[in-house]
Structure 1
Amino acid sequence: MIGMKSQDWPTIHQSPEMQALRDYVTAADGSRYANQAASTLRLDVTHSNLMQRWHDLVFDSGMTVSRVKEKLYSHGGTPAADQELYLRRGGGDTLFLWDERKTLADYGVKNGMEIHIKDTNPYSLSANGGLEDVSQVEKYVMPDEAYDKLENSVRAIKRREKEKAEAELAARIAAGEVIEEEPAESTEQVSERIPMGSRCQVQPGGRRGEVAFVGAVRGVKGVWIGIRLDEPQGNNDGSKEGERYFNCKGEKYGCFARPENVEVGDFPELDPFASDEEF
């Protein structure tokens, strides 16, 4: 089967496995009505306004059409006076059950046939998805002020958990078990220490370049420094995940570093041909 195209695969009807499954599922179809009373009928029911259908509803062959309508009212919600019933006998053969005094037996109804309900009321509750389309149901929306007052809501539970965690952390800090972290610097604070356009040296590797960006980078926390490197010793071209933060000579001439790894000062561009023995 390896390398076969989709059109070469057997259809459901050609597949022996599917045929075996079909045979298993339908094995008792020939005798499914064998153990019921002689006057009992099991019928499928559909409705003109509803997507759903009812399978194997139980009726008695002696029930009049009027009594059948009363029974179906509890399923489709259509009052008996607004119902027209049609018997679908298979093969496109449909019969209008117009006489409400006649019984199902009078119309020759058999097991497995289908009764179709036509709702004749244009203002029916089931029309236009009235009984099935939940988007038409007006939802109750609780105001935030009222929700905040609830003591057993998810928001209240999360609020209590947060307050408890903060209290426990404060107690551990007071006891000397945890060293309180200093708040992270803002972009403005970092920019004052590492101004745009400054010459710098980046660790690791002592790479030199110029500060080309100071700020947040999408997908990572904190403030980052973008450096336009003198040599292709970086890992990008000033962009990350398709978003450009600064321009540079080309691929590998850019990098992003944490502020603590960037040193600003007199770091001129190195001459790769300079000798350590010359002044």
Structure 2
Amino acid sequence: MNEMPAMRAYVTAGDATRYDHQAEGSLRLDVTHSNLNQSFHDLLFDADVPISSVKLKLNRHCGTPPDCMELYLRRGNQMDTVFLYDDSKSLRQYGAQNGMEIHIKDIDPYSLSKGGGLEDVSLVEKYMISEEDYDKLENTVRKQVQAQKAKKQKEKEESGEAAREAIALEELNKLLEEVKVTFLIGARCEVQPGSRRGEVAYVGIPKKQSVVRVGVRLDEPQGSNNGEINGTRYFECPPGYGCFVLHTNVTVGDFPPTDPFASDDEF
């Protein structure tokens, strides 16, 4: 069974009615050009305007000056072609009907469209610049791409740094809670170096520091401060009786105040 007639009937089913709602006195024509591969489908024309007006309209589509146009009306095939030589006549007078084709012959010997001049981009002279000179230019696409990459890399690094800082802070707070369990405020202790005795007066993370400190109120003036660091007071004690040390340098236990008059010598 030959399916081609059925296929053709399906594809062209709307052809008989495609112009039913078209305005009276108008024509829909296809347009081709001698120098262009591009064609224009179903352009709308007034059937009664002179060919000179038709040329003006076609000029807006293809760029060919009206006085450099020769127009031909093709009525079904290239063999049935009419030369529209009289600019005063209308398309209707030349027998134009919907679906026919107007062919534009560009007779300008210097036409820009000649030889693919308006369509073949390979004919266009391209601007060339060396890599060195291009890199000297500001606001180029390359520099914008490089800036975007640098921004993303910085954001990635900052994000990684923030994540590391968050982890470090979490670990520091965890250590602080563990130290607070062992080093209770008021507990007797001994501080190294020097086996200095006193009592725990503070456990925490001082301002502008990122380490857990144990503040000790010493029994004797063997310290370096009065319970204050960088203008912030953390506990009360006389000058020279306070110190802030790492918890690893402090031992909590039975460390009574040292009696300076006690002696193991027997008389």
Aligned counterpart, 1:126: 113
Structure possessing the higher radius of gyration over alpha carbons:
2
Aligned counterpart, 2:13: 27
How far 1:105 sits from its partner (Å)? 1.3
Asked if 1:52 is matched to 2:38, the reply is yes
Residues 147 and 153 of structure 1 are in contact (CA less than 8 Å); yes or no, is this contact kept in structure 2?
Answer: no
Paired positions, count:
163
CA 1:115–1:146 in 2, change beyond 3 Å: closer, same or farther? Answer: same
Correspondence list, 1:51-90, <5 A: 51-90=37-76
Aligned counterpart, 2:93: 106
Per-residue CA shift, 1:169-210, capped at 9, x if unaligned? 678789999xxxxxxxxxxxxxxxxxxxxxxxxxxxxxxxxx
Task: Describe the SS at the equivalent of 1:75.
Answer: helix
Asked if 1:157 is matched to 2:143, the reply is no
How far 1:135 sits from its partner (Å)? 3.2
CA 1:19–1:152 in 2, change beyond 3 Å: closer, same or farther? Answer: farther
Correspondence list, 1:133-152, <5 A: 133-138=120-125, 143-147=134-138
2:138 and 2:150 map into 1 onto residues whose CA distance is 13
Q: 1:43 aligns with which of 29, 33, 42?
A: 29
CA 1:150–1:56 in 2, change beyond 3 Å: closer, same or farther? Answer: closer
Q: 1:97 aligns with which of 84, 91, 101?
A: 84
1:58 and 1:29 map into 2 onto residues whose CA distance is 17
Give structure 1 stretches of 5+ with no counterpart: 1-9, 178-279
Per-residue CA shift, 1:9-51, capped at 9, x if unaligned? x9xxx447x944x433321211212222331111000001100
How far 1:165 sits from its partner (Å)? 3.6
2:87 and 2:15 map into 1 onto residues whose CA distance is 32
Task: Describe the SS at the equivalent of 2:82.
Answer: strand
RMSD, aligned α-carbons:
3.2
How far 1:127 sits from its partner (Å)? 1.5
CA 1:123–1:150 in 2, change beyond 3 Å: closer, same or farther? Answer: closer
Give structure 2 stretches of 5+ with no counterpart: 169-267
Residues 148 and 156 of structure 1 are in contact (CA less than 8 Å); yes or no, is this contact kept in structure 2?
Answer: no
CA 1:156–1:67 in 2, change beyond 3 Å: closer, same or farther? Answer: same
- Higher mean C-alpha displacement, 26-35 vs 62-71: 26-35
CA 1:173–1:84 in 2, change beyond 3 Å: closer, same or farther? Answer: same
2:97 and 2:142 map into 1 onto residues whose CA distance is 60
Correspondence list, 1:189-268, <5 A: none
CA 1:162–1:140 in 2, change beyond 3 Å: closer, same or farther? Answer: farther
Residues 62 and 105 of structure 1 are in contact (CA less than 8 Å); yes or no, is this contact kept in structure 2?
Answer: yes
Per-residue CA shift, 1:42-75, capped at 9, x if unaligned? 1000001100101111111101111100010000
2:87 and 2:147 map into 1 onto residues whose CA distance is 60
1:128 and 1:150 map into 2 onto residues whose CA distance is 33
How far 1:130 sits from its partner (Å)? 2.1
Residues 125 and 131 of structure 1 are in contact (CA less than 8 Å); yes or no, is this contact kept in structure 2?
Answer: yes
1:32 and 1:149 map into 2 onto residues whose CA distance is 51
Per-residue CA shift, 1:85-123, capped at 9, x if unaligned? 011112321111111111111111111110000111121
1:110 and 1:171 map into 2 onto residues whose CA distance is 75
Task: Describe the SS at the equivalent of 2:44.
Answer: strand
CA 1:95–1:146 in 2, change beyond 3 Å: closer, same or farther? Answer: same
